[in-house]
Amino acid sequence: MSEKIEHVGLWAERLPYSYNIPEKVFAEAWQKENELDSCTRPILNSLMNKMKSDFMQITQRDALVAATVIQWLGSNVGNCFVKECHKKIELHFKEPNNA
């Protein structure tokens, strides 16, 4: 039997502080989405396996890297990255030939 995979980022100790609410929201949402559930497949498993019939064993390192990136998206720098991406998407769809 394999050990339970923990979907916790490298910098999880930052989460209890009030200035890190967005990081906490991202990290907790990621953890919840990756809980084993009889109805759904954890997101990381879906990302790592192209087809439902595929099955690549997810490692603890896979989970650590993914959870760290997701938590980073909630940080100030990560949030700026997300906002810049959304601006580029909006600009793309404002161009007449891209709508």
Give 19-64 pLDDT, tens digit per residue: 889 999 999 999 999 987 656 678 898 888 876 666 678 899 999 9
This prediction's pTM: 0.81
Residue 11 lies in a domain: no
Domain count of the fold of the chain = 1
Residue 10 lies in a domain: no
Taking 3-state DSSP, the helix, strand and coil percentages for the chain, each rounded to the nearest 5, stand at 60, 0, 40
Residue 28 lies in a domain: yes
Residue 45 lies in a domain: yes
Best CA proximity match to 73, nearest among 35, 18, 1, 20: 20
Domain containing 28: what range? 18-98
Query: Average pLDDT of 70-97?
Result: 94
User: Alpha-carbon distance 59 to 4, whole Å?
Assistant: 10
pLDDT at 99: 59
Residue 27 lies in a domain: yes
Which one-letter DSSP state was computed for residue 24?
H
